[in-house]
């Protein structure tokens, strides 16, 4: 008889626990479906230059259904990240009646060859932008690398005072540049230890002297030489009586 009482006590405890769990569940369901906690405000924060608040609200509408507790934050975040210029969104509840949306915008660096934009992380995105930007190009999947090297090349060319207009990486991994003044620079592929950066740095250090000798008429530079670079000057060959086609004048390092 004693053993049966212990069994009955166990059954009663289990029933009480199940009843408590059911009551808690029903309370949660009632709270989630209650009209007592409506969402009233969607607050957008972040440094916004291109994203408009009404565009965010338009994408949130219909996806923030339910009350404060029932709103699907992942659905809201995914919808916001479809808005042009939004790189990343974070959404959280803020008691008692609002959603707080933090926006990270894309920061454009250049245009890609397919007319999309490239951000500072080397990611492609689609958006409308009127102002001019440098042009980048490369094989599929090379966006991050090209963007990173663009920043390095820009810093190396800074002493010349002429910004980059184009940076292209060929399928054979060769780099070519064009400056805003129209001069093109064939940098070539990395051939360690002679990297594209090393050749470009040598060119920048020697170019002012070469440009002075050629009266600044250089339009094309070829850096694919181990100890120097070649330049093409329009009209130089004709002026020298050396033929009908312009030839390259080769500048050698002083150490050669």
The topology under which CATH files domain 41-105 is: Ubiquitin-like (UB roll) (3.10.20)
Q: Does domain 108-252 have CATH number 3.40.50.11690?
A: yes
Angle in degrees, 0-180, between the axes of helices 196-213 and 143-157, rounded to the nearest 10: 40
- Quick: pLDDT tens for 165-180: 999 999 999 999 999 9
Domain ranges of the chain: 41-105, 108-252
- Give the pLDDT mean for 30-47: 62
Calpha distance 10→25 (Å, rounded): 23
pTM strictly above 0.75:
no
- Quick: pLDDT tens for 60-79: 776 655 666 667 888 889 88
Residue 160: CB atoms within 10 A of its CB come to 15
Which is more confidently placed, 210 or 253? 210
Q: How confident is the model at residue 218 (pLDDT cuts 50, 70, 90)?
A: confident
Decide: residue 75, CB within 10 A, 0-12 exposed, 13-18 middle, 19+ buried. Answer: middle
Whole-number average pLDDT of the chain? 79
């Amino acid at each position: 008889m004693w053993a049966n009482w212990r069994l009955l006590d166990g059954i009663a405890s289990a029933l009480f626990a199940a009843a408590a769990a059911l009551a808690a569940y029903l309370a949660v369901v009632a709270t989630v479906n209650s009209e007592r906690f409506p969402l009233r405000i969607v607050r957008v924060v972040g440094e916004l230059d291109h994203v408009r608040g009404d565009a965010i609200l338009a994408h949130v509408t219909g996806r923030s259904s339910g009350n404060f507790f029932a709103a699907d934050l992942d659905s809201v975040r995914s919808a916001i990240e479809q808005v042009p210029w939004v790189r990343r969104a974070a959404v959280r509840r803020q008691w008692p009646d609002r959603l707080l949306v933090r926006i990270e915008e894309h920061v454009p660096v250049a245009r890609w060859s397919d007319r999309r934009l490239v951000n500072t992380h080397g990611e492609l995105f689609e958006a409308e932008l009127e102002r001019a930007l440098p042009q980048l190009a490369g094989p599929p999947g090379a966006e991050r690398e090209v963007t990173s090297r663009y920043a390095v090349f820009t810093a190396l060319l800074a002493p010349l005072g002429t910004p980059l207009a184009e940076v292209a990486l060929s399928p054979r991994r060769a780099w070519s540049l064009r400056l805003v003044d129209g001069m093109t620079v064939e940098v070539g592929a990395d051939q360690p230890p002679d990297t594209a950066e090393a050749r470009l740095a040598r060119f920048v250090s020697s170019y002012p002297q070469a440009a002075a000798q050629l009266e600044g008429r250089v339009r094309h530079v070829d850096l694919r030489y181990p100890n120097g670079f070649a330049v093409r000057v329009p009209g130089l060959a004709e002026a020298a009586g050396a033929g009908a086609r312009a030839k390259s004048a080769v500048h050698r390092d002083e150490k050669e």
